[in-house]
Amino acid sequence: MKKLYLNTGNMNTIFNDLKGSLGGSLILESSQYKLKTRTKNADGMLSGITVSPNISFVEFDIVFYKDTQLSLESDEGSNVLFVYCSKGNLVHSFGIGGERKTIKPNQNGVIRNTSGINSVFYFEGFKPVRFAILSCNTKAAQKDLFSALNKVFPGNAGNYIRIGRQNFKIAQKINEFSTIPQRGIVRNLLRNRILEDILEIELDQHTYGYMKDIKPIKALMNKQLEELKKVPVLNFSLAEAGQTSRNYLLKMFREKYHLVFNRSFNQKLVS
């Protein structure tokens, strides 16, 4: 049994730990970590990115060469995990001795761990698996979106996992996230918007109506996103710019697009 352990540190620490456990080559490309491994332990690709202080996203497309446990350090309730499986089976339990539940292809799971017990995922050897985890930190969140998620998936309800059929719109959004052609600041803004879209879809399907209150705003944002996608000339990254340039570019985009990427929802949310 191969055992992997991930702490709740930053993405750099997580992927360097994975490289140490699995081997392979690790690169940082457009703020996204990519670990390509083809060793005695596994064969596949792992990627991960933090797009804001509240949102991180990791993808696994891999086959392990022996039964494997992936243990995620508990954050004691800060994060809500949205898990999307597209190939193979993803088995989860709270702690090694906890009840095991299976997320199958085209299913998703919502996980909230409010204890000090780690979340553990299990993988069978020689069976390909592809899944994604969207992590949303709702602790001290300022945006209404995250506050609403914290109400719908409360941290005082004990450890829980909800498994259901994956929303087709979310599957489309995940594919869109992986195929963004733009680079630099436009790419980063689009990534953030797509992941927030997924969170809004999750919120809507668990509250039966959140989205109807913000449809006018969504229509405007979608129109502006299409405008952003038509800007191929911004082929640069913020990492390559100086601090003054970064601040100016961010200010320019936020003003031009009316803060659609850092907006507050003033509409009434489901209480």
**Structure confidence at residue 115 (pLDDT):** 81
Confidence of residue 69 (pLDDT cuts 50, 70, 90): very high
Percent of the chain at pLDDT exceeding 70 = 73
| Average pLDDT of every residue of the chain | 80
Q: What is the pLDDT of residue 148?
A: 86
**What pLDDT does residue 268 have?**
38
What's the average model confidence in pLDDT over 66-82?
A: 86
Among residues 53, 56, 51, 86, the alpha carbon closest in space to that of 72 is found at 56
pLDDT given for residue 91 in this prediction? 97
Q: Where are the beta strands (DSSP E) in the chain?
A: 2-6, 25-29, 32-38, 42-52, 55-64, 68-72, 79-87, 90-94, 101-103, 107-112, 119-123, 129-137, 160-165
User: Of 40-54, 213-227, 237-251, which one has max mean pLDDT?
Assistant: 40-54
Q: For residue 126, what pLDDT is reported?
A: 97
**CB 218 within 8 Å of CB 267:** no
Q: What pLDDT, in 10s, does the model give residues 48-58?
A: 999 988 899 99
Read off the pTM: 0.77
Residue range 126-149, pLDDT digits in tens: 999 999 999 998 875 566 888 888
What is the pLDDT, as a whole number, of residue 233? 46
- Check the CA dihedral 231-234-237-242 and report its sign: negative
- How confident is the model over 240-260, as a mean pLDDT? 47
DSSP string, 200-230: HHHHHHHHTSTGGGSHHHHHHHHHHHHHHHT
